Amino acid sequence: MSANRRWVNSLLLIALAVALLVLAFRKVDLAHLRDGFRQVHYGWVGLALLVGLAAHTVRAIRWRILIEPIDHRLPLLNVLCAVFVGYLTNLAFPRLGEVAKCGSISKTDGTRFEALLGTVVVERTSDLLLTLLLTLLVLALRFERFGAFIIERIALPLRDKLLAVSALAYVTMAVVGTVVVAGAVLAVRRNLLGERISGKLRQLWQGMADGLRSLFGSGRMPAFLALTVLLWAAYWGMTWAVLRSTPITAGLGPIDALFIMVVGTYGMVVPVQGGFGAFHIITAISLGIYGISYDDGLLFAIVSHESQTLLLIAGGLAAFIYLYLRRYRASNKRTNSTPSGHQNVVEED
């Protein structure tokens, strides 16, 4: 994707985020929100931030497990910095964060970029599967309360969008997809795309294969699954802590926090910067099943989303500073260690 096209796409997504924010706050009593912020117990918000930081660290540890077959010498701090670089990039360029965090590791440690990208595919697929499992769990726990919301607000709109597409269109997409995949495999095998492109595609595939091999072939699957559960448990605890921070939601329990977390996850899937607008709308609406007004639900959404966004910005900036200083020191070290024979010497007459 060219730089100009990337900027155009980003501007369009920013416009969408702004539109969603306007929609979210269109009929909100701002004075009511201001009074609500004065009643927030920010100690709980601070606890949520600490749990969030722990969650990002767990994500870095889990990703490093996938990278081990490719590069077993990566320092955890470099991986954690790459995770924060990805988060910060997503705030400006949605869906480019995964590319940015792979680029960060590639630059700091020389690991193959395409191989890293393959491990990210494995990582994100596992998160998607767990999100679906958590959705089913929420439905099973309290279907009479949560079922109607998830079915009416998430499942049915998605079904309607899918049904709006004709059967011929689905057949066409399936045929085109099959042809594209088969063509790509054939082009890579016969080197029709050139050695450079074919090599990158092979490395991407190899990265996915190495990531899967590290799970199924080296006994790391239990550790990966445990870290995945721990990661989402941290997200759950983070949501519950923020619920405790606002008087109107303080009475909600752990199961309610699980429901809000799952619903909020779907809000973050919308391809806008950091889920701005989409997260606020779906979270405020979901709290309505407890009899909480939209304005009060929006207060919770703002406290939850903006506190974690500030954490991502701070973490991302700290990561950029650390990586810059690391490269600066490495550059100075190489300069100072240059053999004297390679330096210019001024001889006396």
Q: What is the spatial distance between Cα 31 and Cα 293, in angstroms, rounded to a whole number? A: 15
Q: Looking at residues 187-206, what average pLDDT do you find? A: 60
- Other residues' Cβ atoms within 10 Å of the Cβ of residue 202: 14
pLDDT value of residue 124: 87
pLDDT at position 80 over 90:
yes
Q: 28's torsion region: left (phi>0), alpha (psi -120 to 50) or beta?
A: beta
Contact 153, 286 (CB under 8 A): yes
177 falls in which pLDDT band (50, 70, 90)? low
Contact 207, 114 (CB under 8 A): yes
pLDDT value of residue 347: 43
pLDDT value of residue 171: 66
pLDDT value of residue 2: 53
Domain extents for the chain? 27-329
134 falls in which pLDDT band (50, 70, 90)? very high
**Helix 42-67 vs helix 221-245: crossing angle, to nearest 10:** 170
Task: Give Cβ neighbours of residue 62 (< 8 Å, ≥ 6 apart).
Answer: 123, 224, 227, 228, 231
Closest CA to 6 of 94, 84, 87, 88: 94
**If DSSP states are collapsed to H, E and C, what string results for 197-252?**
HHHHHHHHHHHHHHHHHHHHCCCCHHHHHHHHHHHHHHHHHHHHHHHHHCCCCCCC
**Range among 43-47, 122-126, 200-204 rated most confident:** 43-47
> Containing H/E element for 136?
helix 113-141
Q: Looking at residues 89-112, what average pLDDT do you find? A: 85
DSSP 273: G
List pLDDT tens digits, range 204-247.
666 666 666 666 666 778 889 999 999 999 999 999 999 999 99
Q: What are phi and psi of 58, to 5 degrees?
A: -60, -40
Residue 61 exposed, middle or buried by CB count within 10 Å (0-12, 13-18, 19+): middle
pLDDT value of residue 348: 43
pLDDT value of residue 23: 55
